[in-house]
Every structure is written in C-alpha cells, then in structure tokens.
C-alpha cells in the first residue's frame, strides 16, 4: 500500500464558521478522527487563530467554556482538545502552505494547479520575501492524535558514541564530543489532519 495523505477539512465558504477558527472546523476535525478510529487530542494553531477563539461569543459556546477560554487567553482546551500556539503557523508563518507566487515560507504550491501534494488551494495566501502578506488567503491548523504512541517513530540508525576530547586538556578543561544518526517517520498519516481556514470568505 502506498503513502496516504493526511485528511483535510474545511468549512465551506458562506457556511456558519467559515473564514476563522470556529467551533465548526474543530468539530469537523474531531468527527473525521472518530470516523477513522482516532481521537483529536492536540491542535496546533497560529496566534491569529488564538485571537479568533477569544472572539467567540456566548452564541458560539456555553458560558462556562467561554469563561475558561478568557481565563486561559484563548488557550487551554476546547472539548478536551489541547490547543498549542505556534508562531510559524498562520498567514505570516514560515510553515504556512502558500501559493506559488509567494517568496517566503518552506511550503509553496505548484504554479499550474496551486496544489501542494493532495491539497489544492482555492485562495492561496501570498507572502513577500520579508514574510509580509501581499494577498491574504488560506491558512492551516494541524491536528494530531497523540493518545497512542503507535505511529510517530524516531528510528536510530547509529547509537550515540561519546569520545573524550584530549584537546581540552591544554586549557585545563575536560569534555567529550559525540554523534548519532537518527531519523523521523510517520507510519500512519491518519494520526494527523489539516484544517483549512480561508480568510477571504
């Protein structure tokens, strides 16, 4: 069996909860995880998405949850899902999946189809070389099932080797140096999912 892409979820434009980090997108991701026998435990979001949560009103969530969100400055948990803010996510983030015209970021779509692997950007985010946004578009949030340790592995090809450093004796110091070869692998892509937030709607 070949590699499978991570599931991608988005609230359709014009629907309730589109255009910002809403309870609808979190609920959609949670449901998607349950359908494949997993649980959404952790959600990685940008500072702008944390700001979206702080703007939820009492029509979005119950008063008790809203109070907990305000006390935690938009962080903490929502429906048992732990929230983590990463500076490198969001429109100005280094790891946002941007359009092909972007001059900044690690991940850019192809020029012809505006696709990145199996993810097709409807409204690509475009950034200038200095990281400023020239065209606001789609940002991504990343969800994980970290309830089990069965899919993300770190194989060690060569165990750590330590050696004394005799050169330090000249400076009346003692020390050592060493190295090891490690790798990172995800055995099952179903433990991760992407939520797409289209800021143009």
Tokens (6 digits) for 43? 């959600």
Residue 38 lies in a domain: yes
Tokens (6 digits) for 162? 């330590």
44-85: per-residue pLDDT in tens?
Answer: 999 888 888 878 877 777 777 777 766 766 567 778 888 898
Question: Beta 138-144 vs 115-116: how paired, if at all?
Answer: unpaired
The rounded distance, in Å, linking the Cα atoms of 40 and 80 is 9
Residue 27 lies in a domain: yes
Residue 3 lies in a domain: no
Residue 179 lies in a domain: no
Residue 104 lies in a domain: yes
136-194: per-residue pLDDT in tens?
Answer: 888 999 999 888 777 777 776 777 888 888 887 778 888 888 888 777 777 777 788 98
The boundaries of the domain holding residue 46 are 8-147+188-198
Residue 161 lies in a domain: no
Query: Strand, coil or helix: what is 51?
Result: helix
Query: Strand, coil or helix: what is 81?
Result: strand
pTM for the structure as a whole = 0.77
Q: Are 33 and 39 in contact (CB under 8 A)?
A: yes
Residue 124 lies in a domain: yes
Residue 163 lies in a domain: no
- How many domains are contained in the chain? 1
């Amino acid at each position: 069996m070949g590699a499978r892409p991570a599931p991608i979820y988005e609230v359709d434009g014009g629907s309730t909860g589109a255009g910002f980090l809403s309870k609808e997108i979190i609920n959609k991701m949670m449901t998607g995880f349950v359908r494949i026998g997993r649980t959404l435990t952790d959600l990685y979001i940008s500072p702008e998405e944390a700001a979206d949560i702080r703007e939820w009103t009492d029509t979005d969530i119950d008063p008790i949850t809203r109070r907990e969100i305000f006390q935690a400055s938009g962080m903490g948990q929502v429906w048992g899902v732990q929230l983590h803010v990463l500076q490198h996510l969001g429109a100005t983030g280094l790891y946002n999946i941007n359009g092909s015209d972007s001059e900044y970021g690690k991940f850019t779509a192809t020029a012809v189809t505006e696709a990145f692997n199996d993810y097709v950007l409807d409204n690509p985010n475009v950034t200038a070389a200095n990281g400023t946004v020239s065209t606001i578009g789609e940002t991504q949030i990343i969800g994980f099932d970290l309830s089990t340790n069965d899919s993300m592995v770190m194989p060690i090809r060569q165990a750590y080797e330590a050696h004394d450093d005799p050169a330090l004796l000249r400076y009346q110091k003692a020390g050592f140096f060493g190295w090891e070869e490690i790798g990172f692998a995800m055995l099952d892509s179903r433990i991760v999912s992407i939520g797409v937030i289209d800021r143009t709607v």
